[in-house]
A and B are shown apart, each in its own frame.
Chain A
Amino acid sequence: MSDEDNDRRSDLDKLGERIAKARGEETRPEPGLSPGASAGDGLRVAVEFVVSVLVGTGLGYAIGSFFGAPVIGLIVGMPFGFAAGLRTVYRGLTAGEKGNGPDGDD
């Protein structure tokens, strides 16, 4: 083994250390519960909820119109939309806990 070989070996080791260090720095920040991420989650959930209510109401109205009673459709559709909104919100928030949902967005 020559000196040159040793030099190269130590260079490689240093590079390895540097890579390991950089990786460590990359993975350190936990994307857990920063206020921004939570606000993003809240906004996402709010959009989903409002959209669900609107879709339920619109669908009720459309089906009601088809049968000639749009108002009854509207009245029945809205609570269903509300329930669907709660369902979506609940699913969205519990999916995040299992770790298979999208995280921090808005």
Chain B
Amino acid sequence: MGMTDTLLAFLFGFFAAGPMEQFQIQTIIPFSFGETDISFTNASLWMMIGVLTALGFFTLATKRLALIPGGVQSMGEMAYEFIANMVRDTMGEDGRIFFPFVFTLFTFIFLSNLLGLLPSIPGSPHELHTFTPTSHIIVTFSLALLSFGLVVIYGLFKHGVGFLSIFAPSGVPLWLMPLIVPIEIISFLSRPVSLAVRLFANMLAGHVVLKVFAGFVGTLLTAGGVLSVISIVPLFGIVAVFLLEFLVAFLQAFVFTILTCIYLQDALHPHH
């Protein structure tokens, strides 16, 4: 017990924030449209940073195209080929019209997830702290509704009433239809919800776990004695979870896009 302990207690007391505080929406530039609040917030800021990063990266990647690609160009090509293969494998050749949409979706989700893992600049105001837009269900649900809306609109546009045949699996006797059709409709409607919930829950949980572990380090360190020594354990935990989060950031973007592809496949070919 001494001055260092007091200092540590002060520092951690000063910086300690609840695990959910990182998800608070902070208004940066207040702005309203009639009654609706459409302020520029930290969520808007980090979505914009994500879009600008994508823009910057692909501008760099396509700036000086060489036959033998350099570092940035080959990364860009890898991203292109990864999504192009995904689209081809799930939807076939005529799925190519959806490539721009799927590519944009993947890039946006992946960069939102990844940039949210950047550490905040120490001492910066709360409004400018690192923020993960995909940790908010309204963001993921909007993205899911976009995919879902595209499936429904394209399906109806391309196949007309025939698109509704996805609700009536072939080989089902007619008397079972009143049971099967509502079940298929509910199953269809639950797709965007589960799509949104999965991405949101993964991002939220990851960041909460990181924060809780960080809280353990602070509390143990200031407890003194043996407990201070043990504080190294959650510290390594943070490193492990942080590395895992990189995998999750990629995996969840991948899962979101591949499920979108699989659903779009229904719009392309509703008859199985």
Do A and B associate with each other? yes
A positions within 8 Å CB-CB of B: 44, 47-48, 51-52, 54-56, 59, 80-81, 83-85, 87-88, 91, 100-102, 105-106
A54 neighbours in B (Cβ, 8 Å): 190, 193
Q: A83-B183, A84-B183, A87-B187 are in contact. Are A106 and B193 (CB under 8 A)?
A: no
Interface size on B, residues (CB 8 A): 23
237-270 of chain B: CB within 8 A of chain A:
248, 251-252, 254-255, 258-259, 262
- Among B29-37, B53-61, B195-203, the stretch that binds chain A is B195-203
Q: B81: CB under 8 A from chain A?
A: no
* Cα–Cα distance between A41 and B258 once the two chains are bound (Å): 15
Take A102-B262, A105-B251, A105-B254 as given contacts and tell me if A47 and B197 are in contact as well, using a CB distance cutoff of 8 Å.
Answer: yes
Residue A80 contacts which of B186, B258, B259 (CB distance < 8 angstroms)? B186
- A sample of 24 cross-chain residue pairs with beta-carbon separation below 8 angstroms, ordered by A number, consists of A44-B255, A47-B194, A47-B198, A48-B194, A52-B186, A54-B190, A54-B193, A55-B193, A56-B190, A80-B182, A80-B183, A83-B179, A83-B183, A84-B183, A84-B184, A84-B186, A84-B187, A87-B184, A87-B187, A100-B90, A100-B262, A102-B258, A102-B259, A106-B202
**Distance of B148 from chain A, by nearest CB (Å):** 12
Q: Which residue of A lies closest to B179 (CB)?
A: A83
Known contacts A81-B186, A88-B190; is-contact A105 B252 (Cβ 8 Å): yes
Contacts of B187 in A (CB 8 A): 52, 84-85, 87-88, 91
Also in contact, A55 and B251, with CB within 8 A (given A44-B198, A47-B201, A102-B258): no
| Inter-subunit contact A48/B190 (CB<8 Å) | yes
Judged by DSSP, the binding face of B is helix
- Give the residues in chain A near B201, CB-CB below 8 Å: 47
A51 touches B186 (CB 8 A): no
> Which residues of B pack against A, CB within 8 Å?
90, 179, 182-184, 186-187, 189-190, 193-194, 197-198, 201-202, 248, 251-252, 254-255, 258-259, 262
CA distance A69 to B179 in the complex (A): 20
List of B residues within 8 angstroms of A84 by Cβ: 182-184, 186-187, 190
Contacts of B254 on A, CB cut-off 8 Å? 105
- A78 to B262: give the CA distance in the assembly, Å: 27
State the 8 A-B residue pairs at the shortest beta-carbon distance, nearest first. A84-B186, A55-B190, A51-B194, A84-B187, A105-B255, A52-B190, A56-B186, A84-B183
Distance (whole angstroms) from the CB of A77 to the closest CB of chain B: 8
Bound CA span A54–B192, Å = 13
Chain A hits for B198, CB < 8 A: 44, 47
| Whole-angstrom CA separation of A106 from B187 in the bound complex | 19
A100, B262: Cα distance in complex, Å:
9
B107 to chain A minimum Cβ distance, whole angstroms, is 19
A33 to B185, CA, bound (A): 32
Q: How far, in angstroms, from A45 to B184 measured CA to CA in the complex?
A: 17
Are A51 and B202 in contact (CB-based, < 8 A)?
Answer: no
With A47-B198, A51-B193, A55-B193 already in contact, the answer to whether A87 and B183 are too (CB < 8 A) is yes
Which residue on chain B has the smallest CB distance to residue A40?
A: B251
B72 CB → nearest A CB, Å: 22
Partner of B189, one of A48, A59, A102: A59
Q: Which residues of A contact B179 (CB under 8 A)?
A: 83
Q: Report how far A80 CA is from B259 CA in the complex, Å.
A: 23
Closest B residue, CB atoms, query A91:
B187
- Rounded to whole angstroms, the CA-CA distance of A14 and B218 in the bound complex is 53
Rounded to whole angstroms, the CA-CA distance of A47 and B191 in the bound complex is: 11
Closest to B201 in A: A47
